[in-house]
Amino acid sequence: MVVTIRYTLFILICMLCQSAFSAVDIVLCEDSDGNQSFQKRCPPGTQLVEKKKISVGKDASREISLSNLNVVLYSIPDCVTCEEVAIYLKSRDISYSEKDVSKDIELQQELTKKTGKLSVPVTIIGEEIVSGYNREKIGAILDSILSPE
């Protein structure tokens, strides 16, 4: 139980400091009484039981997925809801292209063809279309792409 709590605390600390590390080596040490603890290195009087490398920090596969992600936001100027979608995408570090449909007839036709109506905001993530600002749906789509498990 004590080992699990220490291990959990160690992992949480590593996650909080993830920008400073890419991987952390930890070892499981055991003293003469059989008590085990996770340490950076085994202190005197203990034996090494197991060594682990724990990856922390930015996930390279996530960065690749993000760079290949095709996200388009159809909007108009002074649209509060459009701005909310943009802020949410930025908060998730998602690159996107924004298309202003207010004065561009071709973009209006493009949007109508894709969605069946002319209203904004519309967020297109890959093949998925989200009308309005539906943070949960946008988040779920992004999560399914970035963590397909």
Domain boundaries, the chain: 2-57, 61-146
Say if residues 57 and 18 touch (Cβ distance below 8 Å). yes
Tally of residues, the chain: 149
| Tokens read off for 75 | 């909007």
- pTM for this prediction: 0.57
61-146 falls under which CATH superfamily?
Glutaredoxin (3.40.30.10)
Q: What is the pLDDT along the chain (149 residues), one digit of tens a residue?
A: 555 666 665 666 666 555 444 556 777 788 888 887 777 788 888 888 888 766 555 554 555 455 567 999 999 999 999 999 999 999 988 999 999 999 999 999 999 999 999 999 999 999 999 999 999 999 999 988 877 65
CA distance 113 to 118: 9
